Structure 1
Amino acid sequence: MELNNHQGWYGETFVAAIAAAAGFQVAVPYPDIGKDLILGRDHEDPDLDVQIALQVKTRRVEEVAETDTGFKITLSAAGYKRLRGKRQVPAYLVMVLVPTDPAQYIRMDEEALVLRRCAYWVSLEQRLPLQQGQKTVTVTVPRDNLLTVDALHKFFARACEEVPAP
């Protein structure tokens, strides 16, 4: 498999593994138009039966632009538009840092399967509009926003708070 496709597939699978550990359903939209994964849960209370959308980007560790507070990632203006603003299905940008060598993506033995490196998230809900003619947008993904099982549960709790009453 070509390296960039391999890397992207691994990143989506990495995030899906976190979602599985959190107990959420994972769906892959077809066609993929700006959202790579839709996470949901089947809840007996319809008000708690919500979804969130994730756009997953991957970067090799040595290629990511780091700042003191996070990681810079450049999106196309079209991709940015699909994630920004308040949405009925909340959307998050997830950046997965991956090892340079795909052979280092996982380590396993009889005790554990370790997926290598980590994922960070950012919500673009409060972002400003684009300038006319702008082709790309650089976003900082905060280092403090590690994507974890607890973070996904918080995304769903927030989405449930925003479900309009009937």
Structure 2
Amino acid sequence: MELNNHQGWYGETFVAAIAAAAGFQVAVPYPDIGKDLILGRDHEDPELDVQIALQVKTRRVDQIETADAGLRITLSIDQFKRLRGRRQVPCYLVVVVVPADPAAYISVDVPALTLKHSAYWLSLENRSLPVQQGQKSVTVTVPRENLLTVDALHEFFHRACEEVPAP
């Protein structure tokens, strides 16, 4: 498999593994138009049956541009527009940092399967679109403190439930 496709597939699978550990359903939208994964849950209370969407980007460890406290990621203006603003289904940018060599993506041993490396998230909900004539891309910084974890995914759903309008 071509390296960039392999890397992207691994990144989405990495995030899906975290979602599985959190107990959420994972769906892959078809066609993929700016959202790579849709996470949901089947809750006994229909008002708590919400979804979130994730746009997954990957970067190899040796390609990361680091800002003071985060990862700098360049998005096309179209990608940025699909992620920003308040939406019925909240959307998050997720950046999965992967090893440079695909052979190092996982290690398998009897007590554990270890996925490498890490994932970070960013909400662009409150970001305004940069207004510069002819601008084709925008760079955002994903804070390193925004580690994507089971607890972080539960918090995304908690926030989404708070925003569901009452009937």
Q: SS where residue 12 of structure 1 aligns?
A: helix
* C-alpha separation in 2, matches of 1:29 and 1:54: 11
Once the two structures are superposed, the pairs formed by residues 122-161 of structure 1 within 5 Å of their partners are 122-131=122-131, 132-161=133-162
Output the TM-score relative to the length of structure 1: 0.99
Once the two structures are superposed, the pairs formed by residues 38-49 of structure 1 within 5 Å of their partners are 38-49=38-49
Displacement of 1:130 in angstroms is 3.1
Partner of 2:86: 86
Output the TM-score relative to the length of structure 2: 0.98
The one-letter code of the counterpart of 1:72 is R
Partner of 2:70: 70
Partner of 2:16: 16
* C-alpha separation in 2, matches of 1:137 and 1:89: 23
RMSD: 0.6
Q: SS where residue 66 of structure 1 aligns?
A: coil
Bigger drift between 72-81 and 122-131 goes to 122-131
Bigger drift between 1-10 and 61-70 goes to 61-70
Aligned structure 1 segments of 4 or more residues deviating by more than 4 angstroms? none
Partner of 1:99: 99
Residues paired across the two proteins, number: 166
* C-alpha separation in 2, matches of 1:37 and 1:82: 14
Identify unmatched segments of 5+ residues in structure 2: none
* C-alpha separation in 1, matches of 2:125 and 2:17: 25
* C-alpha separation in 1, matches of 2:60 and 2:138: 20
The one-letter code of the counterpart of 1:35 is K
